Amino acid sequence: MRRVKTFISLVGEEFRLHFAFKRRYFFSTITTFVSNLIIMGGIILVSIPSTSYGYDVQAVLQKSNATRLIGFLYFFLGMSSLGLPEGAVSTARQLGTIDNLALSPLGLTGVIGAKFLPSYVGCLVETLIAVILLSLAFGLRVMWSFGPIVLNSVIAALGMLGLGYVLGGLTIRFKQLGLVKNLLFVLLFALGIMPMGYDSAEGLSRFAQFFPFTQGLIRTRHALLPESAGTISIPLWLFMGCSAALLCLGVLVFRRFERQSLRQGTLGSY
């Protein structure tokens, strides 16, 4: 019970620090937001249909751009959750606080878990504002409904956090895995902007549909885009189960590497 109270208190403190950082470095926050907005807008801009294509081709390209908006949202959320454990391990190692965090009541695993909700909320709000602005600017048809967005994205983000824990555990063991993390980011980006139609059962393997990131993306597109309604999708309970299983696996892997390195005295070494 004491650990639960400590965890809740730490989550509240992480929220306070997160928003204090945003206020303290407001210009940097705005610069990052505008940069991401320009990048997303540029990708959509190069796909804007010409009137010479004809109505049918224009309609298909507009639908494809609408799916990309949802993909952008999931890409940034997935990248934030996936990179959280590895980033926390690297930062704590550089600051020399990693051993103290590992010896705390929550352990390094719990400290990283407390950072998840503030990171998720901050990323969701910023990215959602950006994609809504882009949908209005380019006239893309999206039926914005925040319930499905929050429900599906938080389940998917927890699954990606589990994968991030695996990456963080491997970082503890092998010290530097920046290339692997960047390759995973590229994969998430490719999945996020894949053309419309590739999220159907015919275009995406059944195994890939059980992956929390792709399943959350599929379900959100079905909820927000009228053209995607009725497409095959796995049940919600199975989606939640796959995400929870990946999260538990990630925590177990991370804890094993954390305890092993702590016993050997190599947790803070490069």
State mean pLDDT over 52-63: 65
Largest CA distance in the chain: 68
Q: What is the pTM of this model?
A: 0.86
Distance CA 74, CA 268 (A): 33
One DSSP character per residue, 171-212 reads HHHHS--HHHHHHHHHHHHHHHTPPTTTTSTTTS-HHHHTSH
Take residue 81 and report the two structure tokens written for it.
Answer: 């959750």
Distance CA 72, CA 40 (A): 7
What are the domain boundaries of the chain? 2-264
Tens digits of residue pLDDT in 180-239:
777 777 777 777 766 545 444 445 556 667 788 888 888 888 888 876 655 556 788 888
Question: Given this model, what pLDDT does residue 54 score?
Answer: 57
